[in-house]
Amino acid sequence: MLKTLTLACATCLPIAAWADDPRILEATATQTGSSWRISVTLSHPDTGWDHYADGWRVLDMDGNPLGLRELVHPHVNEQPFTRSLAGVAIPDGTEQVKIQARCNVDGWAEATYILVLNCDASC
């Protein structure tokens, strides 16, 4: 029985490593006129076309989508990496948004990154 349990656990380890969500390490926002440019730095153990971080989105605090940045290729040798999305319409008076990353195998990560907008000296 111990050999069976050991074998079962050993075969589960690669699956756990395969399921790493993309992680947002940093995000910034710059207002340009009436819209925003959002830049996101994320990391993910991309393995190639079979498994890679394929996007991130900007959400309001209620979870409504405000913008989507699709990533069209793997970044196996470029980790972490930063990509931007311009023209994001964020309603006036919004103080923070959520950023959520996605990979082409596991879908949207559970974790979100809170990005504070219009931060004054009290932040």
- What is the pLDDT at residue 50? 93
Q: Does a structural domain hold residue 111?
A: yes
| Domain-located, residue 81 | yes
Domain assignment present for 94: yes
Q: Is the residue at 64 inside a domain?
A: yes
Lowest mean pLDDT among 3-7, 59-63, 88-92: 3-7
pLDDT of residue 118: 73
* pLDDT of res. 16: 39
Which pLDDT belongs to residue 76? 83
121, part of any domain: no
Which range marks the domain in which residue 32 is found? 2-116
Residue 99 lies in a domain: yes
Number of domains the chain is built from: 1
- Asked if residue 112 belongs to a domain, the reply is yes
Report the CATH number at residue 30. Answer: 2.60.40.10
pLDDT of residue 69 exceeding 70, the answer is yes
Does residue 24 lie in a domain region?
yes
Q: If DSSP states are collapsed to H, E and C, what string results for the chain?
A: CHHHHHHHHHHHHHHHHHCCCCEEEEEEEEEECCEEEEEEEEECCCCECCECEEEEEEECCCCCEEEEEECCCCCCCCCCEEEEEEEECCCCCCCEEEEEEEECCCEECCCCEEEECCCCCCC
